[in-house]
Amino acid sequence: MVQCNPPDLDRIFGALTDPTRRALLARLAEHDSLSIGDLARPLPMSLPAVIKHLDVLEGAGLIARHKTGRTVACRLVAAPMEDAMGWLRRYTRFWEESLDRLAAVVERAP
């Protein structure tokens, strides 16, 4: 796994904070590629607003855009999310130990 430097993680997590951007990523995860128009169609906002969200996602490395003729399409780039997951996995041990302690307390309860 490639390790991200802190500014990259900041951009990734920052991009993921917005529900619209998460919705765009979810749609892209279901398709190989979607045009910007297809991505924007179900959203209750203007095309320029959607493009601004796509700019943030592209800046975080989470999507790539490609142009075919007059159509600009986007595709998901999952590698940065894997880097973020790697960072989060470092805390798995903490949560597992905390849950084990909680389970032990519950088991001792009358």
Q: Which domain holds residue 42?
A: 6-108
Burial (CB count within 10 angstroms: exposed 0-12, middle 13-18, buried 19+), residue 54: buried
Give yes or no for residue 1 having a pLDDT over 60: no
* Residue 1: inside a domain: no
Tens digits of per-residue pLDDT, 41-62? 999 999 999 999 999 999 999 9
* Residue 54: inside a domain: yes
* Residue 75: inside a domain: yes
> Could you tell me the pTM of the whole model?
0.80
Instruction: Report DSSP state, residue 41.
Output: T
Domain count across the chain = 1
> What CATH number does the domain containing 33 carry?
1.10.10.10
Mean pLDDT of the chain: 90
Query: H or E element: which one contains 82?
Result: helix 79-89
